[in-house]
Amino acid sequence: MGEVTVNTEWLSDCSGCHVAIVDLHEKILNVLAAVKIQRCPVLTDVKDYPKARVGLVSGAIRNVHDREAALKMRESCDIVIAWGSCAVFGGPAGAGNIHTPEEIATAVYLENKTTTPAPPPSRQVSPLESKVTPLDTVIYVDFYLPGCPPHPLFVFEALSALVEGREPETAKRSVCAKCKRKMEKTEVAELKSNFEGIPDPERCFLSQGYTCLGSVTIDRCLAPCPSNGVPCTGCAGATMQVLTEPNRDIRTEIAERMSRLTRIDREEIVRSLERSAKSHYSYTMATSMIGEKPTFLIKRWIEDEEADYEAGGR
């Protein structure tokens, strides 16, 4: 196979997925020797969309510009990869679906508590769509590479696979598969916030009453967070089991597992996860696979929690 031409594009995102290219360190030389990057917002000043074999698209569909850019990438690239959790699931921007675009504009501009209030810009800004959605709601996607951002190992594997003309490997296991902490039964009777106490470095966070989403999150990262003392927040997105099986959900799976490992009541764990749904569902909230499960209640949980917050004057 000859040189592989690549276009990249970022939609609504934080740019971390594009920075992940640099994270390849010296391996980027292997990639650059085999691919020709034609269009890449962080590397080239090319505004149009030349024909390319591979298109890497990061970011969610949040505004009209995102939609048009996604269509141009599809027209110009033979293979399109949804690159990173924003493109695959909608990512953190999906939390915006709890509010209307008007509510967001009011909170950000007119009633911003930390800057001088100002009217929302009316010119040279692409209008927001009514909802944040993943890339595949607008164009056909050939491959999915979740992660926030995807780990360099998997970026390299995906690019190598395409250069070699084979399909990239898919992840089938959860973060727990790469985590060395031991899941064991304990007498722990209370849920803990992540900033409380000093967790035992050998023991699974769930066994200690801390919320860790490793068991419901696809392994696209080699478990760096639990290996370094921090519970997984699910940034690579939910496992296929959670996404595709109608009776499985992030909060019920975690509650089931933690209540078996500790003395904490299952319903108490479910309620705690619902109260912090904006965090625990933030990466995948915009995908219909999560949004149309029992978690269509996410909006209500968050509204209830925000009402309690306001009532408590917090």
Shortest Å distance, C-beta 234 to ligand SF4: 6
Shortest Å distance, C-beta 69 to ligand SF4: 14
Per rule CB under 6 A, is residue 280 in the interface with ligand SF4?
no
In the range 191-210, which residues lie near ligand SF4 by CB under 6 A? Answer: 204-206
Closest by Cα among 172, 214, 209 to 194 = 209
In the range 152-181, which residues lie near ligand SF4 by CB under 6 A? Answer: 175-176, 179, 181
Q: What is the dihedral of CA 212, 280, 154, 53, to 10 degrees?
A: 170
201-210 long-range contacts (CB < 8 A, ≥24 apart) are: 201/229, 204/179, 204/261, 205/181, 205/231, 206/254, 206/257, 206/258, 206/261, 206/262, 207/182, 207/183, 207/261, 207/262, 208/262, 209/258, 209/262, 209/264
State the DSSP code for 48.
S
Closer of 55 and 91 to ligand SF4 (Cβ): 91
Per rule CB under 6 A, is residue 57 in the interface with ligand SF4?
no
Please give the Cα distance from 84 to 59 (Å, whole number). 7
Q: Give the interface segment with ligand SF4, choosing from 30-38, 189-197, 212-220, 265-273 (CB under 6 A).
A: 212-220
Per rule CB under 6 A, is residue 242 in the interface with ligand SF4?
no
Q: Give the interface segment with ligand SF4, choosing from 63-71, 123-131, 218-226, 242-250 (CB under 6 A).
A: 218-226
Closer of 84 and 134 to ligand SF4 (Cβ): 84
- Count Cβ atoms within 10 A of the Cβ of residue 190 and give its class: 0-12 exposed, 13-18 middle, 19 or more buried: exposed
Interacting residues toward ligand SF4 by CB under 6 A: 13-14, 16-17, 58-59, 84-86, 91-92, 148-149, 175-176, 179, 181, 183, 204-206, 212, 214-215, 217, 221, 223-226, 232-236
